[in-house]
């Protein structure tokens, strides 16, 4: 009986539909199941595996204009890994999600351009390398299909730009190396030089090359704008297919048009970023540092530099100054300074990237756990030693934590109810807070310009700063927390630093990293021309004029301005 029933349920046949479509293959009842070929009346065909009426497994899809797909499908969608050849001759090979390139992939365009890197819902997003047919090449970050963030552009005629981009234009701080060996370090605004910069003529390459190698430190210290490309955003590669079969059987096969607006999870994004880094690093020709490997040789004891000031691309001021070469100072930095960086010693390179993933996982867990708790007044016990949330995050996941692509770690959240109420008093939405720090775009790492050796992260929207702390600093913060909380209760518009969370990460072998989440006071659409570190003292509080550029943080005696304020605003400020 059982054997006879199976024969009746699964059969191989040719089925003709009233609209002219034809199916040849195995059926389960009245729907395709197993292997089969479906031909639409317009000539489109699919030959491959089926599961209960949906294209699932390996298969080939052919469209009448000449387009073809071969690879994985799931639930009627192109999903997994496969190769799509469009009718114009362009070829995409890589990961797919719901009919759109999503993940790591390579696309060869009809005009001989080639892109290798990250995709998200059909457009270039993440880390990637783009080679134009004319020889130009860009390696760096993308967003919404455009150059966005830190990246290096190398033109076929020899010029190189290493810096920040915004929607295809140079925007932010960067280094431009001309083909004749001269350099320009400065700021750009929407493709135009804007503000102060330094120009080094050709022949002074030793100093210029050294500054290019330290550009990473410069742009971290200066709060780069993360943005990007002259390559316009392209339409998602979404094959079209008729839906007539889904009307005859159980469900649709392919979505005919429109984008699938589904965001990948944090774990998907982590895997994506790690894979991309491996992909980019596998080809040393595309590393930004390779563009500056040409050693121009020795220079005189004094290097001539031109200080320039631009306004929207127009040179308005220029003066010459000499810069003494200081190899001893440079070697001192590389030798002694690094030894002070206890956190950096462990979390350098990819390990610092893993720390970032741990932060995101922990903050997502903390916000998700504390937000549903009913709002209540903070009690004295909420400030005590017992007011902690602790959780273990194994790589494979647990009953309470998701699997992840980082390393095993322990998470501690200090005074969660206190900081939850602080975020509410600062009118910070929990969902916005979590998405800003834990979203798909990740965090941007910066280095410290001071002596603390702390690691800094900026959220991609620049709203939040995350800074590592010493154990002694955490103790001071926890001791003053009750008074801080009371102050914020009475002055919600306070101008002092806003603290949103205090956390700790501990690795299995005992290494511990503590960090604080703060509001970024420099988050503004305006370009900041000057920055001052004011301590209320005059003792040594000035900066050598020869060392001042647009990124220099100035001191008390450098502040020569008078501020005229509205009377009511002045009273409110002093209060």
The DSSP annotation for 273-312 comes to HHHHHHHHHT-GGG-GGGGG--------SEEEEEEEEEET
User: Alpha-carbon distance 172 to 103, whole Å?
Assistant: 28
Q: What's the pLDDT at 351?
A: 56
Please, are residues 272 and 263 in contact by the beta-carbon 8 Å criterion?
no
Q: What's the pLDDT at 380?
A: 92
Q: What's the pLDDT at 421?
A: 93
Q: What's the pLDDT at 323?
A: 60
Beta-ladder partners of 156:
none
Please, are residues 91 and 67 in contact by the beta-carbon 8 Å criterion?
no
Q: What's the pLDDT at 436?
A: 86
User: Alpha-carbon distance 290 to 292, whole Å?
Assistant: 5
First to last CA, the chain: 89
User: Alpha-carbon distance 526 to 89, whole Å?
Assistant: 45
Q: What are phi and psi of 291, to 5 degrees?
A: -70, -15
User: Alpha-carbon distance 492 to 425, whole Å?
Assistant: 6
Q: CA–CA distance from 217 to each of 189, 342, 351, 449, 557 (Å)?
A: 20, 18, 18, 9, 26
Q: What's the pLDDT at 193?
A: 87
One DSSP character per residue, 29-45 reads TTEEEEEEEEE-TTS-E
Q: What's the pLDDT at 372?
A: 82
- What lies within 8 Å, CB to CB, of 277 at 6+ separation is 127, 350, 353
User: Alpha-carbon distance 402 to 257, whole Å?
Assistant: 33
- Helices marked H in 77-227 — which ranges? 205-213, 215-221
Report the chain (575 residues): mean pLDDT per 10 consecutive residues. Answer: 42 76 82 84 86 86 87 87 90 89 90 90 90 91 89 90 89 88 88 86 57 46 36 43 35 31 34 39 40 38 74 80 50 34 43 79 86 86 90 88 86 93 91 83 66 79 90 94 94 88 87 92 80 88 82 88 87 84
Residues 562-571 have pLDDT tens digits of 888 899 988 8
One DSSP character per residue, 345-382 reads HHS-THHHHHHHHHHHHHHHHHHHHHTTSPP----GGG
């Amino acid at each position: 009986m059982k054997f006879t029933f199976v024969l009746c349920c699964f059969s191989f046949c040719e089925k003709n539909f009233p609209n002219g479509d034809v199916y040849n293959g195995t059926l389960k009842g009245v729907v395709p199941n197993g292997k089969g070929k479906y031909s639409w009346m317009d000539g489109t065909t699919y030959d491959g595996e089926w599961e209960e009426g949906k294209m699932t497994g390996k298969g080939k899809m052919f469209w009448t204009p000449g387009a073809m797909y071969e690879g994985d499908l799931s639930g009627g969608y192109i999903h997994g890994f496969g190769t799509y050849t469009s009718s114009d001759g362009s070829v995409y090979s890589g990961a797919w999600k719901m009919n759109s390139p999503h993940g790591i992939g390579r696309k060869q365009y009809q005009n001989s351009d080639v892109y290798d890197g990250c995709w998200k819902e059909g457009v270039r997003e993440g880390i990637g390398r783009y080679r134009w047919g004319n020889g130009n090449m860009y390696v760096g970050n993308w967003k919404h299909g455009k150059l966005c963030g830190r990246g290096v552009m190398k033109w076929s005629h020899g010029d190189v730009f290493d810096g920040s981009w915004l929607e295809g234009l140079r925007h932010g701080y960067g280094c431009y190396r001309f083909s004749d060996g001269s350099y320009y370090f400065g700021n750009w605004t929407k493709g135009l030089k804007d503000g102060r910069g330094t120009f080094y003529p050709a022949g002074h390459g030793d100093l210029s090359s050294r500054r290019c190698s330290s550009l990473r430190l410069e742009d971290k210290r200066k709060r780069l704008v993360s943005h990007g490309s002259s390559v316009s955003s392209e339409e998602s590669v979404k094959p079209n297919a008729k839906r007539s079969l889904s009307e005859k059987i159980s469900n649709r096969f392919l979505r005919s048009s429109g984008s699938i607006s589904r965001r990948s999870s944090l774990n998907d994004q982590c895997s994506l970023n790690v894979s991309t880094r491996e992909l980019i690093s596998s080809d040393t020709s595309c590393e930004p540092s390779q563009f500056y490997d040409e050693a121009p040789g020795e220079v005189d004891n004094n290097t001539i530099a031109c200080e320039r000031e631009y306004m929207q691309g127009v040179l308005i001021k220029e003066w010459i100054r000499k810069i003494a070469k200081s190899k001893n100072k440079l070697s001192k930095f590389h030798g002694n300074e690094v030894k002070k960086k206890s956190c950096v010693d462990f979390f350098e390179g990819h390990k610092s990237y893993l720390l970032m993933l741990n932060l995101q996982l922990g903050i997502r867990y903390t916000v998700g756990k504390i937000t549903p708790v009913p709002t209540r007044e903070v009690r004295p016990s909420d400030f005590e030693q017992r007011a902690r949330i602790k959780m273990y995050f194994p790589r494979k996941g647990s009953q309470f934590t998701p699997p992840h692509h980082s390393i095993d770690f322990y998470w501690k959240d200090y005074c969660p109810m206190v900081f939850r109420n602080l975020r509410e008093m600062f009118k910070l939405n929990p969902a916005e807070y979590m998405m800003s720090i834990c979203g798909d775009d990740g965090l941007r790492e910066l280095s410290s310009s001071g002596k603390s050796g702390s690691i800094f992260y900026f959220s991609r929207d620049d709203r939040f700063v995350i800074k590592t702390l010493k154990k002694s600093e955490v103790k001071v913060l926890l001791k003053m927390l009750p008074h801080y909380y009371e102050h914020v209760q009475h002055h919600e518009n306070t101008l002092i630093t806003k603290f949103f969370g205090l956390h700790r990460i501990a690795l299995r072998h005992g290494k511990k990293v503590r960090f604080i989440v703060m509001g970024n006071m420099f988050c503004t659409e305006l370009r900041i021309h000057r920055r001052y570190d004011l301590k209320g003292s005059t003792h040594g509080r000035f900066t050598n004029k020869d060392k001042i550029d647009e990124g220099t943080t100035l001191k008390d005696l450098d502040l020569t301005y008078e501020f005229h304020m509205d009377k009511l605003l002045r009273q409110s400020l002093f209060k």
